[in-house]
Chain A
Amino acid sequence: MKKRTKKLINYNAYGWFFVSFALILFCVFTIYPAFESIWLSFQTFDEGAFRFSGLDNFKRMLGDKLFFKSMANTFLFLIIQVPIMKVLALSFATMLNKPKLKARGILRTAIFLPCVTSLVAYSVLFKMMFSMNGIVNNVLMSLDVLSESFQWLQNPIWAKIIIIIALTWRWTGYDVIFFLAAMQNIPAETYEAAQIDGSNSWNTFWKITLPQLKPIILLTMIMSTNGTLQLFDEPMNITMGGPANSTLTMSQYIYNQSFVYSPNLGYSATLSYVIVFIMIILAIIQFRITGDDAK
């Protein structure tokens, strides 16, 4: 008995030893900056030094129209893009989950492939595709849909739509993998039983597949909400936030405040925490909506 306890302690010590490297790095580079930036958000950067300014940054934020514009843009992306993507991902996953489907491996790879491309690289590709002499204009002109090149990225509405298309292309496959994995965990017996009871496939999807996917849908919803609220690479590379700030996102605005405009890291930290609180609230709402099943 004694020997066994000793052994356990040893295991614990080794365990902590191996974990400690990651833990220390995590504390230094993640936990510490997170708390430091809370302190930062109460400070103003002025003439080379930080100075405590209380709630000034929050007051400034409340009157900052450009920040609210960027927030509106980000939420527009969130409200339109995320549902489209979830529906698409669910349909793809259901399709790929059919055992009879031919070339399943190839299709699965094809759908997941966009997820391995670099954010900047694919953004630049989309920018090229929708440029004045890009492939989209060329194809539309050769089909006589357009008589002359259209400046997609200079139109406030089209610029938004293109970013939504780009996001959907890049991230749908990512959700599909999650849904597919979850679907494969649904016991085949439930489907069999449904089949015997004479349920059609539409009903089976609504009554059996969807309810059992709920926890994973919640997870992907939180991840997508997170990702969209932090949206940066795509608008930065495709539109630079333009035209006329119509695709400016919150993260890009924070970047501008830190590095493009007269640098004010304190204000940037404040804005970052505003996003954090928005995300917390959204996460709570999502937990509430999906209810207790999501545990």
Chain B
Amino acid sequence: MKKRFIALTLVVALLITALTGCKAEKPAPDSSGNAKNENNESNNDSTDTSEPTTLTVWAWDDNYNIPIMQLAGEYYAKENPNVSVEVISLAKEDVYTKMQTGLSAGGTGLPDIVLLEDYVSAKYLQTFKGSFADLTDKVDYSNFLPFKIDAVSNSGRAYGVPLDTGASILFYRTDLIQEAGYTDADMQDMTWEQFIEIGKAVKDKTGSYMIVEMAANKTTLLRSMMQSVGKWYFDSNGEISIVDNVALEKGFALIKDMKDAGILYEAEGTGDRAGVLNNGTVASIVNGPWMASTIKAATDQSGLWRIASTPRFSDVEGAVNASNLGGSSWYVFESSKNKDIAADLLNKVYANSTEYYEDIMLAHACVSGYIPALSGPAFETEDEYFGGQKIYQIFADTLAKVPGVNYGGYVAEANDAITAAFAGVLSGDTEIKAALEAADAQLKNQLGR
């Protein structure tokens, strides 16, 4: 009996330590971030850049936001030769988890600046109040698009500096559309019903699917549809708005129609999605400007692609052929020893240099939220890949029409609730109304409301 007791006690001890030990995350010591901060202790809270300073930045795309920030460092170094910028490349999820562990540990191991998507920033601004530097008075916000300022603000104070916008755009294969008997003119400013009609013709005549969406998470289209009528999972007061959300209801019905008509390709991952766009399996996609670089990877299709405004709801009041899909912004940590220099860099480069924005737009198709940089000679650039269209002008025109919405701190929870409920609608097991109610119930349950 005694033996058994000891054995059981050991098993219990093993279980407790094995399980909870790994759950209680220790702050990940980040040598690079820490070392940099300590080196520059002399610069504590000052914009005095007479001493050599290195700003560390976390970002995630080696072909996009990392070189973009490195260029910002070069711009700033022209006037402040002692300041250099070191951008550390991490996977996007790792940026968030590393940052969260650092913030939970009271701000250790963090860089000076971090890039956050607008969909997640509110979550961190709310939960880690006081951990991000208030930039309201340090950065000139007068020239940014209003919906981008909304995205970086919390309780009336601005914490982030907008990097890019995600103008929702329809990319399509003009040759396939023409083969189906339609013209480029038909693709402009159309409704989703017209889009589905054309899609059926494309499927009939060419065998290609009309549109691609991720199989596991169909919220890209839904999010684009919602913001095009100024709706979101949450209303402007942050209250859940799902059951009475006309955009979600219509969106569910439209995407189900696409699936039933056989014109929707469900991609298994971003690699699969890029593949079907590049090999002609799919004729179009609704996504942000960054999708241009994915599409251009197929050099043999140069001249076959065009862009147009996103289709709109035909029967919802205030529906526009424009929406936004994400975008990201730079944030400075309150714990950073160099936060004033960091804020100064963001202000000088991102809030005062149209030249910089021209550079990053032409080099990386980065379309900003900085109004003075949304017009000018760079927008006259014709893109051969897209048959000589002035694609940047089209992105900018779209942005001007995007309705602002309050994303709120629970986008991930809402995405998951909608995805789970929508699966039943697509398989035909659930009515749309019932699915919306189920999603609403799950989200309320999750948020404890």
- Selected from B26, B131, B441, the residue in CB contact (under 8 A) with A29 is B26
Cβ of A131 under 8 Å from chain B? yes
Interface size on B, residues (CB 8 A): 51
When each residue 120-150 of chain A gets 1 if its CB lies under 8 Å from chain B and 0 otherwise, what string results?
A: 0000000100011000000000000000000
Q: Mark B399-419, 1 if CB is under 8 A from A, else 0.
A: 000000000011011001001
For B97, what are the chain A residues with a Cβ–Cβ distance below 8 Å? 259
The distance from the CB of A217 to the nearest CB of chain B, in whole angstroms, is: 15
Of the candidate stretches A34-42, A110-118, A175-183, the one touching chain B is A34-42
Contact A47 B216 (CB under 8 A): no
Q: How far is the CA of A269 from the CA of B412 in the complex (A)?
A: 20
Looking across the interface, which residue of chain B has its beta carbon closest to that of A280?
Answer: B12
Contacts A151-B266, A240-B216; is A287 near B15 (CB within 8 Å)? no
Given contacts A262-B409, A269-B24, A295-B4, contact A226 B126 (CB under 8 A): no
Interface residues on A, range: 35 or more
Option from A63, A131, A245, A263 in Cβ contact (under 8 Å) with B272: A131
A-B contacts, 9 of them at CB < 8 A, read A33-B24, A36-B24, A132-B268, A242-B217, A243-B216, A245-B420, A259-B100, A262-B410, A280-B11
What's the Cα separation between A259 and B217 when bound, in Å?
A: 18
Residues of the A chain whose Cβ atoms lie less than 8 Å from the Cβ of B104: 45, 263, 265
Which A residues touch B129, using CB under 8 A? 47-48
CB distance from A264 to the nearest CB of B (A): 8
Q: Please report the C-alpha to C-alpha distance between residue A230 and residue B19 in the assembled complex, in whole angstroms.
A: 8
Question: Is A60 part of the contact surface with B, judged by Cβ < 8 Å?
Answer: yes
Point out the residues of chain B lying under 8 angstroms from A272, CB to CB.
19-20, 23
Question: Within 8 Å CB of A245, what residues of B?
Answer: 416, 420
Q: Counting CB contacts under 8 A, is B42 at the interface?
A: no
**CB contact between B127 and one of A36, A47, A64, A283 (< 8 Å): that residue:** A47
A259: which B residues are within 8 A, CB to CB? 93, 96-97, 100
Q: Cα distance A29–B27 when bound, in Å?
A: 12
Q: How far is the CB of A7 from chain B (nearest CB, A)?
A: 30
Distance in angstroms from A158 CB to nearest chain B CB is 13
Closest 3 CB pairs of A and B: A33-B24, A244-B423, A47-B129
Q: Closest Cβ of chain B: how far from A266's Cβ, in Å?
A: 11
Known contacts A47-B127, A263-B127; is-contact A31 B410 (Cβ 8 Å):
no
Scan A281-295; emit 1 where CB is below 8 A from any B CB, else 0: 001100100001001
Answer yes or no: B16 CB below 8 A from chain A CBs: yes
A19 to B409, CA, bound (A): 47
What residue of chain B has the Cβ atom nearest to residue A63's Cβ?
B445
At the interface, yes or no: A279 with Cβ under 8 Å from chain B? yes
Q: Besides the contacts A38-B20, A132-B268, A258-B100, what 9 more A-B pairs have beta carbons closer than 8 Å?
A: A30-B17, A33-B24, A36-B24, A48-B128, A48-B129, A65-B442, A226-B15, A258-B25, A262-B413
Listed residue (B3, B4, B8, B23) with the most chain A CB atoms within 10 angstroms of its CB: B23
- In the bound complex, residues from chain B placing their C-beta under 8 Å from that of A243 are 216, 423
B interface residue numbers (CB < 8 A to A): 3-4, 7-8, 11-12, 15-21, 23-26, 93, 96-97, 100, 103-104, 123, 126-131, 215-217, 266, 268, 272, 409-410, 412-413, 416, 419-421, 423-424, 441-442, 445-446, 448
Complexed CA–CA distance, A64 and B26 (Å): 27
Residues on A lying within 8 angstroms of B by beta carbon are 29-31, 33-34, 36-38, 40, 45-48, 60, 63-66, 127, 131-132, 151, 153-154, 156, 222, 226, 230, 239-240, 242-245, 254, 256, 258-263, 265, 268-269, 272-273, 275-276, 279-280, 283-284, 287, 292, 295
Among A64, A131, A260, A275, the most chain B Cβ lie within 10 Å of the Cβ of: A260
| Minimum CB–CB distance for B48 against chain A, Å | 29
Main DSSP-derived SS at the B contact region: helix
CB closest residue in chain B, given A239: B216
A226, B18: Cβ atoms under 8 Å?
Answer: yes
Contact of B123 among A240, A262, A268, A269 (CB under 8 A): A262
Q: State whether B24 touches A244 (Cβ < 8 A).
A: no
Which residue on B lies nearest to A33, using beta carbons?
Answer: B24
Q: Across the two chains, which residue of chain A brings its CB closest to B122?
A: A262
- The residue in chain B whose Cβ has the minimal distance to the Cβ of A46 is B127
Contact present for A48 and B130 (CB under 8 Å): yes
Residue of B nearest to A267 (CB): B448
Q: Are B15 and A283 in contact (CB under 8 A)?
A: yes
Taking CB atoms, residues of chain A closer than 8 Å to B7 are 287, 295
Interface pair A66/B21, CB less than 8 Å apart: no
Q: Which of chain A's residues has its CB closest to B423's CB? A: A244
Q: Is the CB of A262 within 8 A of B126?
A: yes
Closest to B410 in A: A262
Contact partner of B412 (CB less than 8 A), chosen from A40, A47, A153, A260, is A260
Residues of B within 8 A of A48 (CB): 103, 127-131
From B17, B128, B216, B268, A34 is in contact (CB under 8 Å) with: B17
Is the Cβ of A261 less than 8 Å from the Cβ of B412?
Answer: yes
Which residues from chain A contact B21 at a C-beta distance below 8 Å?
A: 29-30, 33-34
Task: Give which listed residue, B20, B25, B215, contacts A154 with CB less than 8 A.
Answer: B215
With A268-B23, A269-B23, A276-B16 as contacts: A261 and B127 at CB distance below 8 Å? no
- Which residues on B sit within 8 Å (CB–CB) of A254? 23
Closest Cβ of chain A: how far from B412's Cβ, in Å? 5
CB neighbours (8 Å) of A283 from chain B are 8, 11-12, 15
Residue pair B3, A276 in contact (C-beta under 8 Å): no
Q: Is the CB of B15 within 8 A of A33?
A: no
- Closest chain A CB from B130 CB (angstroms): 5
Do A65 and B445 have beta carbons less than 8 Å apart? yes
Residue contact A154 to B266, C-beta cutoff 8 Å: yes
B377 to chain A, nearest CB (A): 43
Which residue of B3, B17, B25, B26 is within 8 Å of A31 (Cβ)? B17
Bound Cα distance A43, B97 (Å): 20
